[in-house]
Chains A and B, each alone.
Chain A
Amino acid sequence: MVSSVTNLGRSGVFDWLIQRVTAYVLALYTLFLLGFMVFSDVNYETWAALFSQTWFRIFTLLALLSIGAHAWVGLWTVTTDYIKAMAPRFLIQALCGLTMFVYVIWGIQILWGL
């Protein structure tokens, strides 16, 4: 049993599951946006109308959180593979975490006009 504290979930299966579930969410969100851009007029009114609907704001927030989780697990894997010294690795992981946090809060601000 290898112990790890910088990964996201509480076990190996949990992280693996998070990657797959967030991937589905992001795929759905991407398809939806693509569909929207292809099948309807994209101008300020339609875009603002889309983003003013609560269900879409929630969907977008879900996608944002999914990006955060997916990126954290993904970058954690990459840093633990290639950066062997603890100090630089932890620093980069912390920076990634900080960046995700900023994006999420900023995203909430944008979505709800706070």
Chain B
Amino acid sequence: MLVSLYRYNPETDSAPYMQDVEVDIPEGKDLMVLDVLNLIKERDSSMAYRRSCREGVCGSDGMNMNGTNGLACITPMSQVVKKNKLVLRPLPGLPVIRDLVVDMSLFYKQYEKVMPYLVNDTPAPAIERLQTPEDREKLDGLYECILCACCSTACPSFWWNPDKFIGPSGLLQAYRFLADSRDTAQAERLSNLDDPFSVFRCRGIMNCVSVCPKGLNPTKAIGHIRNLLLQRAT
């Protein structure tokens, strides 16, 4: 089958181009996109892409496969191939370093902005800081984010303002700490988010929900943040 790869080497190419490669897929096997990439790399070692765990937990191999963002290692070919063709492109909106490798700095900067760590300066108790099972349940669907950037790079609002809009992933993480019963900095976190750009560029496009490889729902989290901001302000 035909695989069309996005190629760009800043040292030798003046512009990116698509390279078509014929790949023989063994009969009867449903390979993952990452497996096919590895096959291609065996023949052409200059094909660059990030990968690590090969089981969908590290978030390294986020890429755009036939128009949809996802993790290459857990996306079976049968799910993405259309008319016997697979088009692989890097995550949209971020600068390309080489082939399918993008510069994640903008994404990480927005993540750091939301203070993604527990803030609790009260004296440490003798055992752990306790939390009821009900409070712990509030973190389900929030802590599982693997920072793969599939959601933020699928969001048009993030494309237009990646330095000002925090993006679905950052906001999901922001809410993960806003909702944590052990955190004491809720007021400060909300003040930090209350401007026309950080949260409110979200227009409910919901591309993020549709592409998240871990099945998370950033739009819902953003709705919760909006409610918290409203409660605080009205």
Contact = CB atoms under 8 A, between A and B. Distances in A.
Interface in B191-234: 191-201, 226, 229-230, 232-234
Interface string A73-88: 0000100111000000
Given A1-B192, A2-B195, A4-B195, A15 B200 contact: yes
Interface residues of A, number: 17
A52 interface: no
Nearest to A8: B196
B157 interface: yes
A14 interface: yes
Contacts of B164: 2
B: interface residue count bin = 20 to 34
B160 interface: yes
Contacts of A14: 233
Contacts of A80: 160-161, 197
B194 A12 contact: yes
A101 interface: no
Contact of A16 (B161, B193, B200): B200
A109 to B, nearest CB: 32
Interface in A1-18: 1-4, 7, 9, 11-17
A75 to B, nearest CB: 13
A2 B197 contact: yes
Contacts of B199: 12
Nearest to B165: A2
Interface in B33-92: none
Given A11-B233, A13-B230, A80-B161, A1 B196 contact: no
B161 A12 contact: no
B195 A12 contact: yes
A3 to B, nearest CB: 7
B199 to A, nearest CB: 6
Contacts of B226: 13, 16
B233 A13 contact: yes
Given A12-B197, A77-B201, 7 more contacts: A1-B192, A4-B197, A9-B196, A11-B195, A12-B196, A12-B229, A81-B161
Nearest 3 pairs of A and B residues by beta carbon: A81-B160, A2-B197, A12-B200
21 contacts: A1-B191, A2-B164, A2-B196, A2-B197, A4-B197, A7-B196, A12-B194, A12-B198, A12-B199, A12-B229, A13-B200, A13-B230, A13-B232, A13-B233, A16-B226, A17-B233, A77-B201, A80-B160, A81-B157, A81-B161, A82-B160
